[in-house]
Amino acid sequence: MPLRPWSPIPIRDCAEPLLELPSALFRLEPHPYAALGAPYGANGSPFRLRSGVIARLLRAQDWLQQHDDQGYRLAVFDAWRPLAVQQFMVSHTIACECHQRGLDPHQPSAERDAVVQEVGRFWAPPSEDPATPPPHSTGAAVDLTLADATGAVVAMGSEIDAIGAVSEPDYYLRCADQLPEGDQRQQALRWHQHRALLASAMASAGFSQHPNEWWHFSYGDQLWAWRSGKPRACYGRWISAVT
pLDDT in tens, 18-55: 999 999 999 999 999 999 999 998 778 999 999 999 99
Q: Judge whether 174 lies within some domain.
A: no
Residue 233: count other Cβ atoms within 10 Å of its Cβ: 25
Q: Judge whether 175 lies within some domain.
A: no
Q: Judge whether 243 lies within some domain.
A: no
Q: Judge whether 142 lies within some domain.
A: yes
Q: What is the pLDDT at residue 118?
A: 95
Say if CB 234 and CB 15 are below 8 A apart.
no
Catalytic residue among 16, 97, 168, 213: 213
Q: Judge whether 233 lies within some domain.
A: no
Per the annotation, the verdict on 118 as an active-site residue is no
Q: What is the pLDDT at residue 241?
A: 44
Query: 38: helix, coil or strand?
Result: coil
Farthest CA pair distance, the chain: 57
Structural domain that includes position 74 = 18-149+197-228
Q: Judge whether 2 lies within some domain.
A: no
How far apart are the C-alpha atoms of 156 and 132, rounded to whole Å? 30
Q: Judge whether 107 lies within some domain.
A: yes
Q: Which CATH number covers residue 217?
A: 3.30.1380
How far apart are the C-alpha atoms of 6 and 209, rounded to whole Å? 13
Q: What is the pLDDT at residue 242?
A: 39
Number of domains present in the structure of the chain? 1
Q: Judge whether 51 lies within some domain.
A: yes
Positions in the chain whose pLDDT score sits under 70: 1, 240-243
